[in-house]
Each structure stands twice: as structure tokens, then as C-alpha cells.
């Protein structure tokens, strides 16, 4: 843990605390894989942000799901 930066240590502590309380964690504002990978490694359960999808109105969700490239 000594090698982690301050923000990494805070995020890891929150993820660990949530796990200890049997809660799931959700990271918001994940915009690139550079941020997604460490969160996954730290044990974050879910993530949302521009990496996955732009903000959408409810009526725009179905067309976006239909038209996006399959991964």
C-alpha cells in the first residue's frame, strides 16, 4: 500500500470498507481504460462513464443499444 498514491489509497479503503459491509461499489466518471483497469484490480464492482456510454435520455437508450458495435 505504501506505493499507492493518496487517491489510490482512498479509493482502495472505500472499496475495502464497502466489501466489509457487504455493499457493492460503483465508480462514476470512468472515461478511459487507464482508469477502469486499476478500479477493477482494486475490486470495484461496477463502473459507469463515457468509456461505456454517453449520458442518454430514456428514449435514446434503445436506439443506442441497437446501433452500437458489439464487443
pLDDT tens-digit profile, the chain (71 residues): 445 589 999 999 999 999 999 999 999 999 999 999 999 999 999 999 999 989 999 999 999 989 888 76
pLDDT for the residue numbered 5: 87
What is the rounded distance in angstroms from the CA atom of residue 27 to the CA atom of residue 46? 6
Beta strands in 13-57 (DSSP E): 26-28, 46-48
pTM of the model: 0.75
Residue 2 pLDDT? 46
Amino acid at each position: 500500500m505504501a506505493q499507492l498514491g493518496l487517491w489510490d489509497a482512498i479509493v482502495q479503503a472505500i472499496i475495502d470498507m464497502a466489501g466489509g459491509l457487504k455493499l457493492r461499489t460503483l465508480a462514476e466518471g470512468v472515461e478511459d481504460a487507464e482508469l477502469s483497469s486499476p478500479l477493477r484490480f482494486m475490486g470495484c464492482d461496477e463502473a459507469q462513464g463515457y468509456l461505456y456510454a454517453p449520458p442518454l435520455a430514456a428514449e435514446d437508450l434503445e436506439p443506442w443499444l441497437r446501433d452500437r458495435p458489439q464487443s
